[in-house]
Amino acid sequence: MFSLLEKIEAKSARVVVVGIGYVGLPLVLELARAGFRCTGLDTDPEKVRKLNACQSYIPDVSASDLAPFVLEKKLDATVDPAVLQHADAVIVCVPTPLNKTKDPDMGFIVAAAEEIARHQHEGMLVILESTTYPGTTSELLVPKLTANGQILGRSVFVAFSPERVDPGNPVYKTRNTPKVLGGATPECLRVACSLYSQILDEIVPVSSTETAEMVKLLENTFRAVNIGLVNEIAMMSRKLGVDPFEVIRAAATKPFGFMPFFPGPGLGGHCIPIDPLYLSWKVRTLQGEARFIELADSVNSGMPAYVVERTTDALNDQAKPLRGSKILIYGVAYKRDVNDCRESPAFAIMHGLHKRGARVSYMDPYVARLDADGVTQASIDLDTNFGSFDAVVVVTDHSALDRTRLAREARLVVDTRDALRDVVCDRAKIYGL
């Protein structure tokens, strides 16, 4: 342990980050900034090529940030897992999707663990950052890394630290977001803290890997349940003839006891729609129930269909059928001002509109082309006149959206984000959630 600690404290430890996407790329950058020799290991050769060419592929990391470290050979990338045999520390940042039955798909974590074990040597630190159910680190990772005779807390050190990346956040980045960290043993925690304290502003140690795993699930379950609540409030409010966004903003003036969440067209991203279901699945394996999670998932998963219904009703009010109508989806990224389309509700909305016979196009300044979830399509020109469509559905309210032009040109707008609230226009053609 002491030789590994000495390497970490001297910044001579070689670090490999498995998975260099939205979580892994900012992490390898911070490691290189701190003075560590760092390699990104990924199965995607295009990401590897771009990093080695000093090119970024996510908005939160610029090419100018990467270039000095790549050129100084402090940072590189590879598709060859043999690099693991030279690693003193390995941080795993691979995806953890759900399968078609909404059960956890652990394939990426298992594959990463098997590669690490295949190239394992004495004195290695392994930290899992991929969001998963409580017990994954101790039940899956630890057995694989101790099967070859390595002793936990003495010759191999294992920890879990949930990623807290918020793409597009202008204030909180990898370095200044507090980092929760749980070790498989006290010695494991000590070594992991030593590494992360070199690159991050604040470490929040907890008593176990299970606690650290549960922290992330609580954070995103809190958000999913509250978003489910306001989505249901939005549907109730429309039936009552009340504007739900006005209700929420007025309630938010209370200086205590209330935190505003806002309704939308459905959940997106790799965390909020998925993480609570990891917890729900784990509880089911223990013959328990996660009723709030299941109900919130039901409400949130139904929002794209609700948007399709609102679009249908809005066109009916103008004596137009949805079938044959030209519909423009504005914004297909899952949140404002990012290019990340993972789990975006735009896909389900587009599928729903297509199924009813609409002719659907999309416009997004951050996503030039879609090739996912059965949608293969290119964004139309950003200067296209909104009036050339029968309706525009605002799914993602990017800052680049010219709200005044949209309100002026469009024949009809289904505004799922309340983006046009402050725009002076003919309100009769604006339909909210």
Per the listing, tokens 């990898």 go with 174
277 HSE (CA, 13 A, CB side): 22
The C-alpha atoms of residue 84 and residue 390 are separated, in whole angstroms, by 55
What pairs with residue 127 in β-bridges? 91, 159
Residue 389, burial from CB neighbour count under 10 angstroms (0-12, 13-18, 19+): buried
Residue 131, burial from CB neighbour count under 10 angstroms (0-12, 13-18, 19+): buried
**What's 137-187 look like in SS3?**
HHHHHHHHHHCCCCCECCCEEEEECCCCCCCCCCCCCCCCCCEEEEECCHH
Q: Given 38, 93, 193, 271, which residue is catalytic?
A: 271
User: How far, CA to CA in Å, does 365 sit from each of 111, 157, 180, 247, 387?
Assistant: 35, 44, 35, 31, 19
Q: Among 169, 429, 230, 249, which Cα is nearest to 420's?
A: 429
Burial 19-38 (b: 16+ CB within 10 A, else e): bbbbbbbbbbbbbbbbebbb
Q: Cβ of 150: how many Cβ atoms within 10 Å? A: 18
25 HSE (CA, 13 A, CB side): 21
**Are the beta carbons of 27 and 91 closer than 8 angstroms?**
yes
User: How far, CA to CA in Å, does 307 sit from each of 169, 272, 311, 369, 380?
Assistant: 27, 20, 6, 23, 21
Is 271 catalytic? The answer is yes
Provide the 3-class DSSP secondary structure of residue 18. Answer: strand
Q: Among 76, 145, 77, 74, which Cα is nearest to 109's?
A: 145
Q: Quick one: CA dihedral 399, 404, 410, 412, positive or negative?
A: positive
Rounded to an integer, what is the distance from CA 127 to the centroid of its chain?
19
Q: Which residues are the active-site residues?
A: 271
